[in-house]
Structure 1
Amino acid sequence: MASRPIDARGWLFEVEDVESEPDAWLPIAGITSFTHNPAENEETVETTAFESDGQYEQDVMQRGATLAVEGQYRIDKTTKAQDPGQAYIDHDWAQRLGIDSRNRIRWRHETQTVWVVWDATVTPGEQGGGNNDKTSWSCTVTKCGTATTMVVTA
């Protein structure tokens, strides 16, 4: 059987609510696109020397990564409250500074049985829209330390 590409709409993104019970993960609704950059914040050092015979050489000294998610600002139709995942990012996580600025985020494709988990910081994105648009929402998450995994349990 030939392999097939997966649908981008099958990716799931969740943020950990550290003020709730352990492992309280909030799905982030309204996402219409994402970009995972596994080379962001990478640092290298050149190691070319005479014995390299004119060929460039380097070592990676630092790894980094970012995850940018974009979509639509979502609210509950009845209560008018912002989507819990978006609200946690905008009003809790994005407001923290210093040692409190880190939080965990996880994501996976619906076909996968393991989450990728990052300890990370977040940068809120711009919001806006035009006359016939829906309001946009976005954020960029920057990985801090080594990524871990978590088995899907439900």
Structure 2
Amino acid sequence: MAGSTRPIDARGWIFEVEDAGAANETWLTIAGLTTFTHNPGENEETADTTAFDSEGHYEQDVMQRGATLELEGQFRVDKTTKAQDPGQAYIDTEWSQRLGIDSRNMVRWRHETQTKWVVWEATVTPGEQGGGTNEKTSWSATITRCGAATSTAVAG
């Protein structure tokens, strides 16, 4: 039936970063997002396997898989305390400052209709922030997957 499937709303996606310094497993929702881009082919590398016996047709093998998430939105603060959103603040002040083997952190994301999180070990590149006279301040980050993605069930 043509009407039995429907597109999902982009605003239903949820993105969280793990607070690696917390005593217990703690996930911080990243608030204020207005757009995201998941690029499952980013950092892919291939090897050309074309040979004489390919009979003029190109051939390749994928040698490396990669993926990124680009998150963009509005810089958010608590109205009362003026503290930056905890998810954004963790990315800006904790994760993005780490180098070398300490530069990786866990992130997870899913649509509200899904029963499993996609989980990545990843690095982060902070994005530009700015705005004009009659605009809200922007916020962004690019998250790059390291290794294979895993998944975990959404807890009750």
| TM-score in terms of structure 2 length | 0.97
Partner of 2:50: 48
Please list every run of at least 4 consecutive aligned residues from structure 1 whose deviation after the TM superposition is greater than 6 angstroms: none
Return 5+ residue gaps in structure 1 as ranges: none
Letter paired with 1:54: G
Partner of 1:35: 37
Return 5+ residue gaps in structure 2 as ranges: none
Partner of 1:8: 10
Give the superposed CA RMSD: 0.7
**Matched residue pairs, number?**
154
The offset of 1:18, in angstroms, is 0.6
Distance 2:125 2:50 in 1: 36
Partner of 1:119: 121
Match runs of 1:17-28 below 5 Å: 17-28=19-30
Distance 1:88 1:45 in 2: 38
Letter paired with 2:72: E
Distance 2:34 2:108 in 1: 17
* SS class of match (2:4): coil
Residue deviations 1:83-118, cap 9 Å, x none?
A: 000000000000000000000000000000000000
Distance 1:151 1:79 in 2: 34
* SS class of match (1:92): helix
* SS class of match (1:34): strand
Distance 1:45 1:104 in 2: 30
* SS class of match (2:6): coil
Partner of 1:135: 137
Residue deviations 1:60-86, cap 9 Å, x none?
A: 000000000000000000000000000
Distance 2:118 2:142 in 1: 16
The offset of 1:2, in angstroms, is 1.9
Letter paired with 1:88: Y
Identity across aligned pairs (percent)? 73
